[in-house]
Amino acid sequence: MQGRVEPTPEVFGRDSELAALRGLVAADRRAGAVLLAGAAGIGKTALWEAGLEMARAAGRFVLAARPAGTEAGMAFAGLIDLCDPVGPEDLADLPAPQRSALEVALLRAEPLRGAAPGPHAIALAFLNVLRGMAAGQPLVVAVDDLPWLDPLSVSALTFAARRLRDEPVAFLLARRPGSPSPLELVLAPERLEVGALDTNALRRLLASRLAMFPSRVLLRRIVDVSQGNALFALELGRSVRRGGVPAGNPDMILPTSVEDALGARAVALIPGVRRLLLAVAPHQRPHSRNARGRRRTGHRRRRVRRRRAGPRRIQGAGIPSPPGGRSGEPVRTAGASRGARRYRGCGR
C-alpha cells in the first residue's frame, strides 16, 4: 500500500509530455524509461510529480527520490529515500548477507562486527528488492534532479538497471541540461525536452497559483521577460502583486528582468540575511576546462595562506565566514561578484 499522496499542482501547456508519461506508466507496459530535461524553473518537477500521480493511478508502486545539492555527498542518501516505502517484509526473502548489507546502507541496522558492507552487496540487494516487489506489483523508480543524486546511489541504481530484463519496472528521471550520468547511459531513456510555456499556459498558471488575472499588455510583458519559464513568470507575478496595483491595470510597471524582481525581493530582507545572500550568490555560467585549470592553480596558492587564518564572521549575519577575506569586507564565494550585480542594490 502506497503512503499518503501529496497533492500535485495542475500542469498547463504540456499535453505531449503528459501523453508520454501516461504511456510510460500504463498498466499494459512492463518497462521503459523517460527523462525530463530542461532549464531550472521550466516545470520539470511539476511534470515529474504528475507522472508519479499517473503511476499510482495506474496501479504502480512508486519508489521516489528528490535529491538536493546539499545531500550529494551523503552516502546512499538517494537510496534511503527510494527505499523509504520498502518494508521489512520486502527484505525478508533476501539472502542474509544482502539483507544485512542493505539494512546497514539504509541506516536500519548496525554493521556486523563493525565492518561496513561492500557496495556490491548493497547494489545486488537493491536489485533483488526491485525484482521481488515487481513480481507482486509493477514499479516506477523516479529520481528528480538526477545530477544531485549521490554517487553510491547512482552506482546501485545503475547496477540494478543494467540487470533488469522483463521485470515491470519503469524509470522516470528529471534533470537540467548536462552530461549524461551512468544511469542514463544504461537506460537510454526517451528524452523529453521541457521547453518554454506559451502565453495561454502562463495565463492559466498565474490564475491557478496566484489568483492573478493580468491585462493582455501585462501578460505579454510577463511572457517576454520570463521567456516562458514557469518559475520566473510566477516570481514576476508576485512582484506585480507586491506593487499594490490591480493586475488588470494596463499602466502596471513590471520589472525589466527576473533579476530585478528577485532583487526587489532580496532588498526586503533584513540586512544580515541580505549580506549572506550576496556572500553565497551562485553563478551558473559554464566555464572552459582551461579557465577552471587556471583558477585551480590560484586557489592552491591562496589555500596555503588561508590555512593560517582562523574563522571570522560575516558582518551582521552572525555566522562564521570562510577565512581569507580582509577585515571590514563582506566575504564572497566564487561568482558572488556576479551575484551582487544580479541582485542590484541588495547590499545597501
Nearest to 144 by CA among 37, 54, 230, 65: 65
List, in order, residues 6 or more apart from 238 with CB less than 8 Å away: 210, 261, 265
Summarize pLDDT for 177-230 with one digit per residue, the tens.
999 999 999 999 999 999 999 999 999 999 999 999 999 999 999 999 999 999
Tens-digit pLDDT profile for residues 96-131: 999 999 999 999 999 887 678 899 999 999 999 999
Per-residue pLDDT, 270: 74
Cell numbers representing residue 348 in the block = 545597501
Summarised one tens digit per residue, pLDDT across range 4-31 is 444 456 899 999 999 999 999 998 888 9
How does residue 93 score in pLDDT terms, banded at 50, 70 and 90?
very high
Give the model confidence (pLDDT) of 297-333 as tens digits.
455 545 544 444 444 333 333 333 333 343 333 333 3
Please tell me the distance from the alpha carbon of residue 152 to that of residue 79, in angstroms, as a whole number: 8
Q: Where are the beta strands (DSSP E) in 105-260?
A: 139-143, 169-175, 190-193
Over the range 234-250, which residues count as b (16 or more CB within 10 Å of their CB) and which as e?
A: bbbbbbbeeeeeebeee
Q: Tell me what the pLDDT averaged over the chain comes to.
A: 80
pLDDT given at position 112: 80
Query: 275 pLDDT band (50/70/90 cuts)?
Result: confident
- Residue 340's pLDDT is what? 37
pLDDT band for 256, please (50, 70, 90 cuts). Answer: low
Give the mean model confidence (pLDDT) for residues 269-296: 56
Nearest Cα to Cα of residue 258 among 236, 230, 242? 236
The alpha carbon of residue 273 and the mean position of all alpha carbons in its chain are separated, in whole angstroms, by 24
Identify the pLDDT of residue 278: 66
Assess if CATH 3.40.50.11030 describes domain 15-193. Answer: no
Q: How far is CA 185 from CA 65, 162, 169, 225, 229, in A?
A: 19, 10, 17, 36, 28
pLDDT confidence tier of residue 135, bands split at 50, 70 and 90? very high
pLDDT of residue 300: 52
The amino acid that residue 318 corresponds to is G
Q: Hey, where are the domains in the chain?
A: 15-193, 269-348
Q: How much of the chain, in percent, has pLDDT values that exceed 70?
A: 69
pTM above 0.85, yes or no: no
Q: Supply the pLDDT for residue 325.
A: 40
Given this model, what pLDDT does residue 280 score? Answer: 60
